[in-house]
Amino acid sequence: MTQPPIQPDPSFIAGGVAKTPFVLQHDPVALFTTRATRFRFLAQSSDLAAYLEFLADLAEMQARLAGQLPPPEPVDAAQQAQATQATLPLINRANLADRTGLHDYVIALCAEADALSMPDVARQALDAVRSANVGERRQMLANILNDSVPADSVAPHLFVAAAVQVYMARLAASLPADALKPVSTGVCPACGGKPVTSSVLGLRDIENVRYATCSCCATQWNEVRITCLCCGSTKGISYRSVDTKDATVKAEVCTECDHWVKILYQVRNASLDPVADDVGSVGLDILMRNETDFTRGGFNPFLAGY
């Protein structure tokens, strides 16, 4: 399986020397299509098969909506310049929960999702989101845009998060790559979101570069390896995995802040997906919870119930 095409970056080859691009932006339709395929594949050999199949259906729907819904209102040049000046992410997520266009994405996604097969508890959650008033929908949007899912409302937030992902992936893909600059370790330069996971990959003739993937807008940004994405520490980093030999998904553990974030070795398996394989490797979450005192640092609304 191939990864979504990476948009060409003219700065990639500077004077004949390969240069690591700071960000990898993805075509939203290709992004969700690839993710759906990966969820489907992971469902073949997992205790979570039914849930992974559901997430595959959901990602297919996200791909469809990314190609059908009106594009998000772009970030204007003045806001881009202001954000750059202040070393802030270009998209200000704090403003978005009030945006009618984003509410429309939630409404459209919930209408489409009605056709998906899902257990009763998910159906009830979907109905709850569909019948939510503007204020309730705004609150759910604000939670997701703040990288948080209330423990008593995981299932409704899953649908809201799926809509936010489509909207934000499209908004982030519309930003000029050369305007995206480092904000700080573990912070998405496009929207300020938290990473879901990070990936070690090979880009043409550059081996083993690491990119964190935004849980909100799916932008991937370059991060130095062996660095905690939660606190930026380069000390006290170690790795844990379920299978000790040839693991392609590991926990990068930091003893400075006691958090861990998954790291995916796409160099060993190019079909790994930053979101799908996070859900697919829930066994690692269980291991970390049962055998350590460290706290998960990666954000994934699809894993909030686990």
User: In the complex, which residues of this chain contact Zn ion (CB under 5 A)?
Assistant: 188, 190-191, 193, 214, 216-217, 219, 228, 230-231, 233, 254, 256-257
Task: Pick between residue 185 and residue 271 the one whose CB is nearest to Zn ion.
Answer: 185
- Other C-beta atoms lying within 10 Å of the C-beta of residue 82: 13
State the amino acid at position 208 in one-letter form.
N
As given in the structure block, the two tokens for residue 137 are 């929908």
Sign of CA dihedral 296, 302, 305, 306: negative
Q: Of 42 and 190, which has the nearer Cβ to Zn ion?
A: 190
User: In angstroms, what is the minimal distance from the CB of 146 to Zn ion?
Assistant: 13
Distance from the Cα of residue 221 to its chain's centroid: 12
Structure tokens at 20: 């690591």
Judged by CB, which is closer to Zn ion: 68, or 238? 238
Q: Tell me how far, at minimum, the Cβ of 231 lies from Zn ion, in Å.
A: 3
Q: How far is the CB of 134 from Zn ion (least distance, A)?
A: 25
Q: How far is the CB of 238 from Zn ion (least distance, A)?
A: 11
Closest approach, Cβ 62 to Zn ion, in A, equals: 16
Q: Does residue 45 sit in helix, strand or coil?
A: coil
Q: What are phi and psi of 92, to 5 degrees?
A: -95, 100
In whole angstroms, give the CA distance from residue 150 to residue 238.
30
* Nearest-angstrom CA–CA distance, 19 and 119: 48
The smaller minimum CB distance to Zn ion, of residues 75 and 113, is found at: 75
Compare residues 113 and 261 and give the one whose CB is closer to Zn ion: 261
* Residue 298 and residue 215 in contact, taking contact as beta carbons nearer than 8 Å: yes
